[in-house]
């Protein structure tokens, strides 16, 4: 019970760091552009501690999730030279874009450190082997890394496990790496009580650390894969190939993240990197009040050489905020329904 509570605390703190990194992106970009940052806060809700340094009030709030960065002239019209509203469309674009960009950079950094310090979460190795199990009889050894099945080379443990599961009492060939050697081991999964195949092993992400240079390469490749998967998922969502029920909300994200801690720290930080880059990409949606909405307003101003009326912008942002809150309530309800469902 205590371990579970600690897992959730760690998850909430790390998610807060991801959101704070986003707000720091806006903070430093605004300061660089000469915009006054009126408030920078960690957490949400009522203030429990605050202090002022130079022109900015720094706040610590009661609910330790998220953060905020309040800029002068962001919501109201202002001609003051240190206001957001007085800046050029290009500077407004950079300030809005810097939050999502910070999340992408954080994702790259998290994965570099994960590969280099904890191991590769995409390589699964045998942790334990049950005595007299099919794996023991076939000659598998602790530390063997799964690299494929039936000649299909893949390090996706989900696919390998699925193939084992649907092959009870049938011989399959499991491809593993043992040290510098690659082996093809025949094994016959035994049939479990529910009719699925088992070979009698417990697996975990590999603890083999990558070199720093290779960690950079793997991190960039993985973030590119995140981007492609995100675009693919959006396409499937808008075309109805997946339903909105598949979208996780805050409760689902925290629950999933907590479960990855039990698998291993490398897998947990991989999930955090995925969450960070997704937060950045979602915020680039051209939808008020997300950063993408501000980017659209700055592009309109740059193209037509005229600012969007602040009352019109405020109305659009309010409508967008209400729709966004409705979506959050909807996906949170789905999360809770999944948790309490007997299945």
How confident is the model over 174-194, as pLDDT tens digits?
Answer: 999 998 899 999 999 999 988
Give tens-digit pLDDT for 42-90: 888 889 999 999 899 999 988 877 789 999 998 888 889 999 999 999 9
pTM for this entry: 0.80
* 146 pLDDT higher than 60: yes
pLDDT at 341: 54
Q: Give CA–CA dist 118/111, Å, rounded.
A: 10
Q: What's the number of CA atoms in the CB half-sphere (13 Å) around residue 171?
A: 4
Residue 23 known to be catalytic: yes
Domain ranges of the chain: 2-117+251-338, 124-205, 217-247
Q: Is the dihedral of CA 167, 171, 176, 182 positive or negative?
A: negative
Q: What percent of the chain has pLDDT over 90?
A: 49
Active site residue: 23, 74, 163, 313, which one? 23
Across 204-208, 246-250, 296-300, the highest mean pLDDT is recorded for 296-300
Whether 177 contacts 145, CB under 8 Å: yes
In this structure, what DSSP letter does residue 144 have?
A: P
Based on its alpha-carbon atoms, the radius of gyration of the chain, rounded to whole angstroms, reads: 24
pLDDT at 87: 94
Q: Tokens for 128?
A: 């334990």
Give tens-digit pLDDT for 278-337: 889 989 988 888 899 999 999 999 999 998 888 888 888 888 878 777 766 666 666 556
Q: What is the average pLDDT across 97-110?
A: 96
Q: Which residue has the higher pLDDT, 195 or 244?
A: 195
* 216 pLDDT higher than 70: yes
pLDDT confidence bin for 342, thresholds 50/70/90: very low
Q: Which residue has the higher pLDDT, 247 or 127?
A: 127
CATH superfamily membership of 124-205: PDZ domain (2.30.42.10)
- Give the range among 14-18, 91-95, 221-225 with minimum mean pLDDT: 14-18
Contacts of range 35-39, beta carbons closer than 8 Å, 24 or more positions apart = 35/71, 35/72, 35/73, 35/82, 35/83, 35/84, 35/87, 35/91, 35/95, 36/71, 36/72, 36/82, 36/83, 37/69, 37/70, 37/71, 37/72, 38/70, 38/71, 38/72, 39/68, 39/69, 39/70
Does residue 111 sit in helix, strand or coil?
helix
Q: Which residue has the higher pLDDT, 26 or 320?
A: 26
pLDDT at 186: 95
Residue 41 φ then ψ, to 5°: -125, 150
Does residue 263 sit in helix, strand or coil?
helix
| Mean pLDDT, the chain, whole residue set | 86
Residue 178 φ then ψ, to 5°: -125, 100
Whether 6 contacts 249, CB under 8 Å: no
Q: Is the peptide bond before 125 cis (omega within 30 degrees of 0)?
A: no
pLDDT at 12: 79
pLDDT at 252: 63
Q: Give CA–CA dist 293/69, Å, rounded.
A: 17
pLDDT at 233: 78
Q: What is the average pLDDT across 270-280?
A: 89
**CB contact burial 211-226 (16+ within 10 A = b; e otherwise):** eeeebbebbeebbeeb
* 31 pLDDT higher than 80: yes
Q: Give CA–CA dist 253/231, Å, rounded.
A: 19
pLDDT at 15: 83
Contacts of range 180-183, beta carbons closer than 8 Å, 24 or more positions apart = 182/147, 183/144
Q: What is the average pLDDT across 234-251?
A: 65
Q: Is the dihedral of CA 312, 316, 322, 328 positive or negative?
A: negative
Whether 185 contacts 179, CB under 8 Å: no
Q: What is the average pLDDT across 243-265?
A: 66
């Amino acid at each position: 019970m205590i371990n579970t509570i600690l897992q959730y605390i760690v998850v909430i703190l790390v998610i807060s760091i991801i959101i704070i990194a986003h707000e720091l992106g806006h903070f430093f970009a605004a300061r660089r552009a000469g915009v006054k940052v009126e408030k920078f806060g960690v957490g949400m809700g009522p203030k429990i501690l605050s202090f002022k340094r130079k022109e900015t009030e720094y706040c610590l709030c009661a609910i330790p999730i998220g953060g905020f960065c309040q800029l002068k002239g962001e919501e109201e019209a202002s001609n003051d030279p240190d206001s957001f509203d007085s800046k050029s469309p290009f500077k407004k674009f950079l300030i809005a874009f810097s939050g999502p960009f910070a999340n992408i950079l954080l994702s790259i950094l998290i994965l570099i450190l994960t590969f280099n310090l904890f191991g590769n979460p995409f390589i699964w190795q045998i942790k334990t082997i049950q005595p007299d199990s099919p794996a023991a009889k076939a000659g598998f050894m602790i530390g063997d890394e799964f690299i494929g099945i039936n000649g299909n080379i893949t390090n996706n443990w989900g696919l390998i496990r699925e193939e084992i599961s649907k092959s009870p009492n049938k011989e399959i060939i499991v491809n593993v790496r043992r040290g510098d050697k690659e082996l093809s081991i025949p094994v016959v999964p035994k049939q479990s009580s529910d009719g699925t195949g088992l070979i009698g092993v417990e697996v975990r992400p590999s603890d083999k650390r990558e070199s720093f240079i290779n960690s950079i390469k793997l991190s960039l490749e993985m973030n590119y894969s995140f981007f492609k998967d995100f675009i693919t998922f959006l396409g499937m969502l808008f075309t109805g190939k997946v339903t909105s029920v598949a979208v996780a909300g805050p409760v689902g994200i925290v629950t999933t993240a907590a479960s990855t801690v039990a698998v291993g720290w490398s897998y947990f930080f991989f999930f955090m990197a995925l969450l960070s880059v997704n937060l950045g990409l979602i915020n680039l949606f051209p939808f008020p009040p997300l950063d993408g909405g501000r980017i659209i307003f700055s592009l309109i101003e740059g193209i037509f050489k005229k600012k969007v009326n602040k009352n019109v912008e405020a109305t659009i942002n309010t409508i967008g905020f209400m729709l966004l809150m409705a979506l959050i309530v909807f996906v949170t309800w789905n999360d809770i329904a999944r948790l309490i469902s007997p299945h």
